[in-house]
Amino acid sequence: MDGDFIPMNGYAVSGIIQQGGTILQSARSERFRTKEGRKMAYQNLKNAGIEGIVAIGGDGTFTGASVFMSEYPDIKIVGCPGTIDNDLFGTDFTIGYDTAINTAMNAIDNIKDTANAHNRVFFIEVMGRDAGFIALRSAIATGAEAVLVPETTSDIDGLVKLLKSNYKNKKKASIIIVAEGDDAGGAMDVANAVKAQVDYFDIRVTILGHVQRGGRPTAMERVRASQMGIEAVNALLDGKKGVMIGQIHNKMVHTPFEKAIKHHDEMNKQLLTVVDILG
C-alpha cells in the first residue's frame, strides 16, 4: 500500500533458509481491510508491473486475498500455508508447525527435569487458541500425563483423579499440557481449578508463549516450505489463482481458498487415545 517494494533475486534470499519468522516482516493491516487501502495496493502493484502474488499465512491472509481478487481479478494470488497452528484444510502440515512443536518439546523437556527433581506438578500452556494440534503432539512427544485441547471438553475432576492416583503410586511429578484456547481456560485457570480440590500438590505454571513462534526451522520444515514455494510459483505461471498449495500424503495439492478457510482439519482422535495410554 505504500509502494515499498524491494526486488528479490536468488542472491537476495541467500542464507535465509535457517531463519525463523519472516524476512518480509509482514503483519495484519487495518488499512487493507478498507476498500481505499486495497485500491491503493492495487494501483501500486500495477505501477510496479506485478501480475501475481504468493501470499503466505492462514485464515486471515487467505480471506484478505479472496476479497482482493474479487475486486481486482487481474491480480492472481496463490497461497502457501504459513501458520504454527496446523489448522488449515488442504495440507497435512503447515509451514511453521513442525518447528513450533519441536520448540515446545525442547522447552517441556527442560521443565520436566525440574518437575522430577522437586516433585512438582507443572501445567504448561502452549499456543492454540482454536486448535490443539501443538498441545497434542508435544504432549505425546514429552510423555505428558494429560493434555487439554479446545476440541474436547475438559474433565477437571478426571484430571484430579489421575493426579491423585499418580501421587498415591509415588509418582509425584507430572506434566499437564494445556492449549491456550481450552474450554477450561489457560494453564493458570486449570491449575487453580486443581488447587481448589487438592492442596498437597506443589503446583507450578509455565506459559511458553511466543517462544514457539521463533527458532531455527526443522529439516522437514525447510524441505516442505521449499517444495511449496516452487509449487506456488509454478501455479502462477500456469495461470492459476485463488488456491492454497498444500502437501497431502507427500504429494503437492491445490485447495481453493474458500475450502481451506471454511473446512478446518479435525483432530486425530487416535492421538488423544495415545496420550491416555502413555499418561
Give the active site residues: 85
CB of 122 within 8 A of CB of 188?
A: no
Helix (H, G, I), strand (E, B) or coil at 104: helix
- DSSP 8-state symbol, 263: S
Residue 94: which of 184, 209, 195, 228 has the closest Cα? Answer: 228
Name the pairing type of β-strands 174-179 and 121-126.
parallel
Cα-based distances in Å from 209 to 55, 229, 265: 25, 28, 23
**In degrees rounded to 5, what are phi and psi of residue 25?**
55, 40
| Nearest-angstrom CA–CA distance, 72 and 200 | 63
**In degrees rounded to 5, what are phi and psi of residue 57?**
170, -155
Note the residue count of the chain: 279
Which three three-digit cell numbers place residue 114?
525440574
Count other Cβ atoms within 10 Å, centred on residue 190.
Answer: 22
| Nearest-angstrom CA–CA distance, 71 and 196 | 55
Which three three-digit cell numbers place residue 245?
498449495
- DSSP 8-state symbol, 77: E
Residue 204: which of 182, 180, 172 has the closest Cα? Answer: 172
Helix (H, G, I), strand (E, B) or coil at 123: strand
